[in-house]
Amino acid sequence: MLRSIGKKLLELLLFFLLMSVVSFCLLKLVPGDPVRSILRVDDVAVSNEQLEAMRDQLGLNKPLIVQYGIWLKQLVQLDLGHSLITHRSVFTEFAGKLPYTLSLTGGSLIVMLLIAMPLGTLSALYRDRWIDRLSRTISLIGSSLPSFWLGLLLIQLFAVRLRMLPPMGEGSILHLILPSLTLGLAMSAVYVRLIRSSLIESASQDFVASARARGLHPARVFLFHTFRHSLVPLITVFSGSMGSLLGGTVVIEVLFAYPGIGKWIVDAIAARDYPVIQGYILFMSVFIVSINVLVEMSYRWINPEIASKGKEIG
């Protein structure tokens, strides 16, 4: 047990090291000069002396490997540098934006569950009946919609026509509704199908037939036997799609002018704010890896067989 945890930790460490190299090199390889973009902010003619002075100040004249070393050393101290634009610490900026994105993600997950759970379940229970056909059609169309377009339509309907909700920005819980609805709707299209197929697969298991043959109530069989069995594939897919969920928040945040990390990174890319971009890539990898660890732990609860064998899924 201890050995497997140690191995896992070592793997994680290697992964983060790799990510740091990737995010560092990426920015060195792409075209564009951060120094120019910093100085261009002032929108005045830039002399070569100024460029050189700035390079020295940022340590960009040192060899790459030395630059990486310095960067990594700061990284270990949780110092990701300062934004070239706002001059605030990347870490503080990130910490300030994260709650917005987390509440958006949480909100859309709630919307997704509220829609996909009942529809997927009904679809599985009444397979090939009208409700199944209906929900499959909805989910097929839903998964073909560009999420930002759906967002635009929702803004027009709820904010412009009905004037029920604020169209964009942040401030109150009301501002969260439209973005969450947009992302949640887009996600549920995928999950309706998934929940349906996973439940159907679980319902055809022999142990479900056995439980019914013991005279247990169908609702009880469904909740405690079928449903729990279907959670494993669902959670696997869910953890795998965490990345696209976060990617989805980027577009939605831009669309709704919502000040989360998605909008932050798009602004940073536009301004070539390199420390922010590097920090963002690292934060995202940490975030996604932690989700994966959580998911792995949840398998152990859902299926003790996995825990006893120490076997991984997916």
Partner 1 sequence: MLTIQNLTISSGSQLLVNGLNLELRAGEWLALAGESGSGKTLAAASIGGLLPRGISYRGTLNWKGTDLTNLPPARRRKLLGLEIRYIFQDYQGAFTPFITIGKQLDELLSTHTDLDRHARRALGIEALERVNLPGDRVYRSYPFQLSGGQLQRATIASALMLHPALIIADEPTTALDSLTAQRVLKLIAAAKERMNTSVLWITHDLRHVRKYADRVAVMCRGELVEQGTKDEVLYTPSHPYTKRLIAAIPPLSPDAPERLGQMPLSRRLKEGALK
Partner 2 sequence: MRIITKHDLQAGRKLQRPASVAPILLAMSVLALIMAAPALAPYDPYNVAIGERLKAPGAGHWLGTDHLGRDLLSRIISGIRTTLGTSLLILACSMLIGVPLGLLSGYLGGLCDRVFKRAVDAFMTLPDYIFAIVLSGLLGPGLINLLSAVIAVKWVSYARLARSIVLLEKQKEYIALATLSGVSPHRIVIKHILPHTWGNVLVLAALDLGKIILMIASLSYIGLGPQPPAAEWGSMLNEGRLYYHTAPHLMLVPGLAIMLTVLLANIAGDRLRDKYDVRNKERA
Q: Should residue 223 be labelled a site residue for partner 1 when binding is judged by CB under 8 A? A: no
Q: Do 9 and 267 meet the contact criterion of CB atoms below 8 Å apart?
A: no
Question: Does residue 20 contact residue 72 with C-beta atoms inside 8 Å?
Answer: yes
Residues of this chain, 74-113, that bind partner 2 according to CB under 8 A: none
Considering only 66-74, 83-91, 176-184, 214-222, which stretch makes contact with partner 1 by CB under 8 A? 214-222
- Window 177-216: contact mask with partner 2 (x via CB under 8 A): -----------------------x---x----x-------
CB-CB neighbours of 122 under 10 Å: 18
Q: Shortest distance, CB of residue 171 to partner 2, whole angstroms?
A: 22
Half-sphere exposure of 145 (CA within 13 A, CB side): 23
Instruction: Mark the segment that binds partner 2 (CB under 8 A) among 47-55, 62-70, 84-92, 137-145.
Output: 137-145
* CA–CA dist 307, 100 (Å, integer): 35
Residue 228, binding choice from partner 2, partner 1, none, Cβ under 5 to 8 Å by partner class: partner 1
88 and 82 Cβ atoms separated by less than 8 Å: yes
- The entry of partner 1, partner 2, none near residue 161 (CB within 5 to 8 angstroms by kind) is none
By the rule CB under 8 A, 303 interacts with partner 1: yes
Cβ neighbours of residue 275 under 8 Å, at least 6 residues apart?
80, 81, 82, 83, 84, 90
- Contact criterion met (CB below 8 Å) for 80 and 279: yes
Figure out which of the listed residues 37, 86, 89, 205 binds partner 1, where binding follows CB under 8 A. 205
The span of 25-33, 113-121, 164-172, 209-217 binding partner 1 (CB under 8 A) equals: 209-217
DSSP 165: S
Distance between CA atoms of residues 248 and 276, nearest Å: 19
Among 61, 74, 92, 210, binds partner 1 (CB under 8 A): 210
Which positions touch partner 1 (CB under 8 A)?
205-217, 220, 224-225, 228-229, 302-305, 308
